[in-house]
Amino acid sequence: MKNIRDLSKEQLTEWLLDQGEPKFRASQIYDWLWKRFVRDFDSMRNIPKSLRDKLQEHFTIPAVAISTAQHSADGTIKLGFELHDGHFVEGVLIPSGKRMTACISSQVGCSLNCTFCATGYLPRKRNLEFDEIFDQVALIRELAEETYDRPLSNIVLMGMGEPLLNYKNVLKAMEKVSDPEAMGMSPQRITLSTAGISKMIKKLGDDGVRFNLALSLHASSNEKRSKIMPINESNTLEDLVEALNYFYDKTGSRITLEYCVIDGVNDSREDAAELTAFARQIKCKINLIEYNPIDMAEFKSSKAIDRFAQILEKNRLIVNVRRSRGKDIDAACGQLANKSQS
């Protein structure tokens, strides 16, 4: 049976007419699926039972379910999501000041093998379908309202996987998230984080995406970055500068550089000078991120992060220091590895 959420509203209308059903039912069903986030046909209360039975006979709703929830002392909540085929991914609800942010995943596992990231030690099993990505947002949104009585304000594609290696599904999911007939969130509240796939960054520009782009940089020399991020061997810093400037020219959207500060790896004055030189080539701001230890690697958090930030600020760069959230439940940046499922 076909996943009903694979149908556009027009295709759903056509199917209903073929079944002898009135056209207006398409809007009702579409509303249940994409605005009210129902996960079974019997919950569609204004749809006649005869039509609900037809839907049940022809279609499925392979919805994502929350399998685990871990609560941090700082209010962060890490969720284990079970997919219809038994695979798991993780997502995080991060309450911070006026923001209520959902961090979501785009793949089961990852193929990029970044040495400081727990997900990088997992094999990539498959890409998430667009509705599985959407479901993570919907479930975290419900959790934010139930737990904190506050709406979801931001979405970051910074969970498990490389979003640009699941390009079609990620873009379709974000279109649904921002569709006024679905979730209706502003694209300006969405940030996609990539390890740096140059040709796909350019494609984002060609497609005129309206969400924000962040590059996981973490080192500003090719030699050092290739050691911790193998993707740099085929997508060098020079390639990325060209791609990011192309993206900016097409969209007018300033890029965020994410730089996880790791003790003895990328936190020296020389590293700060190299980051300054890299950042001056593009329209950007910089987020310095506290490194979060993982079992698979021996990296340590840097005590020099504030000094590092001061050097960048003296060079007139826009810098924010991002403190870890959810570290006590392995929900912080770089820690998602389905430990709760292992």
Q: Are 121 and 296 in contact (CB under 8 A)?
A: yes
Give yes or no: 90 in active site: yes
Give yes or no: 333 in active site: yes
Q: Is 121 exposed, middle or buried (0-12, 13-18, 19+ CB in 10 A)?
A: middle
Distances (CA, A) of 188 to 34, 212, 253, 333: 20, 6, 10, 21
Cα separation, 274 vs 270, whole angstroms? 6
Distances (CA, A) of 243 to 198, 239, 253, 340: 5, 6, 13, 37
- Among the listed residues 21, 90, 162, 258, the single catalytic one is 90
Q: Are 175 and 137 in contact (CB under 8 A)?
A: no
Q: Which residues are catalytic?
A: 90, 333
